[in-house]
Structure 1
Amino acid sequence: HVCTVEDARAAVAACRYSRPAGSANFDPAGQRGDGPGIAAKYWGLTQQEYYSRADVWPIDPKGEILVGMMCEKVEAWKNLPDILDQVPGIGLVVIGEGDLSQDLGFPRQYDHPKVVEAMTDIRRICAEKGVVCGHPHVNPNNIDGLIDEGYRWLMASPTRSFAALEKGRARLSGQAK
């Protein structure tokens, strides 16, 4: 629920290590705590190698941390141009269509003109600011349309399978061995 410039600045700052004031790419000032041991091991790096990569892209072109925000309230939509203009480091905006449609008063009515207008405008703003726009509910039935609309970060909807449950029920009822 990043809705304001201040929210966005705090999100980016939370992903960055502190550095001396006046350092290159200082803003937003990092607030992340030290202690890279586990992350460095997970990344397969020494701690110093990790420090050289553990910054926010695109603030640091060598940074390997991508900060994304979800635009899921009308307030966020209206503030999005200011957020993207004033906060370096937002590399991705995902439209939280469920919450956004709720906030607009048309819960999960994704074809409602007001919801379509909001989502279209968010994509337009992202395109104008050079920031990738994402969609969180991609499936085989909507993928072509989402790409045509300009989404470039696509999160597949989870598949739900009850195969194990069905097998367990059959086994417990004596129908399978």
Structure 2
Amino acid sequence: MKMQNFVKETLEKRNYALGAFVASGSAMNCECLALNGLDFIIIDAEHAQTSTETMVEMARASELYGMAAFARVYDPGDGPMMSRLLDVGIHGIMVPLVETREQADMAIQYMKFPPLGKRGANGGRGPRWGIYEDYARQANENLYVIMQCETRRGLENIEEICQTPGLDCVFIGTGDLSQDLGYPGETGHPEVAAAIDKILAACQKYGVVPGIVTAAPDAAVARIKQGFQLVTCMNDQVFFRTASEQRIQQVRRGADA
């Protein structure tokens, strides 16, 4: 049996993949997003409460409809958790706050099998209890590695980070990046915009997929047109809050008129 890399397949067909952060811990939300044709989700273990057991159910729900389920770990030094999440069948890992090539290399050590890394052999859900043929090779080729550039120091070292063997994508966290540059939330500020352009150019130079977070349809479209290929367009909890607020207020306005 062979592994699939849903995002790589999507990028070959369309040159971009559309995704969402899922902070709710809801497998049903994942299934709904997959049914709606989303390409990938990022299960947030950095800022949300989701447990490993819940992540397995979220990954299963995603797989039903060909959507990739990635997970964001807590920090660049969280290597054992990276290995564990891959062992239970998560399709790839997002590593936040990567600032140096050394941090990038260390993360790869935990996500790749020898000779690329030192991830330990296992017989769990990752290799589907032995069903996947030549699992170590297939995992090294197909499990997706995303590293976030979201600080001034990461920006300074972006070319070195982009040359990390085994890296698939550099993803810009615009909130943390703008904050670290001294312009919290001002993603259109000239210095922040220049930083985003620099990261995008480094990715394109070294053949790394450029990714970025957005929170609105027009922003997602603009980033795709700009050249970003892995783009998130929502956080499921924020989307539910704002959409439910709009619905409630719409009904109240009509009822009270």
Question: How far is 1:47 from its partner?
Answer: 5.2
- Superposition map of 1:36-51 within 5 A: 36-41=123-128, 46=131, 48-51=133-136
2:147 — aligned with what? Answer: 69
Which ranges of 4 or more aligned residues in structure 1 deviate by more than 2 Å? 47-52, 158-163
Distance of 2:110 and 2:201 partners within structure 1 = 27
Instruction: Report the TM-score, using the length of structure 2 for normalisation.
Output: 0.52
Amino acid at match of 1:68: I
Amino acid at match of 1:50: Y
What do you get for the CA RMSD once the two structures are aligned?
2.1
Amino acid at match of 1:94: F
Which of the pair is proportionally richer in helix? 2
Question: How far is 1:33 from its partner?
Answer: 2.2
What are the ranges of 5 or more consecutive residues in structure 2 without an aligned counterpart? Answer: 1-96, 249-257
1:106 — aligned with what? Answer: 183
Is 1:36–1:47's contact at 8 Å kept on the other side of the alignment?
A: no
Q: State how many pairs are aligned.
A: 146
- From 138, 146, 149, the equivalent of 1:53 is 138
2:100 — aligned with what? Answer: 4
Is 2:214–2:220's contact at 8 Å kept on the other side of the alignment?
A: no
Distance of 2:148 and 2:188 partners within structure 1 = 20
Rg: which structure is higher? 1
Instruction: Report the TM-score, using the length of structure 1 for normalisation.
Output: 0.74
2:113 — aligned with what? Answer: 17
- Superposition map of 1:69-148 within 5 A: 69-85=147-163, 87-148=164-225
Distance of 1:36 and 1:101 partners within structure 2 = 42
SS of 2:218's equivalent?
coil
What are the ranges of 5 or more consecutive residues in structure 1 without an aligned counterpart? Answer: 19-25, 56-62, 168-177
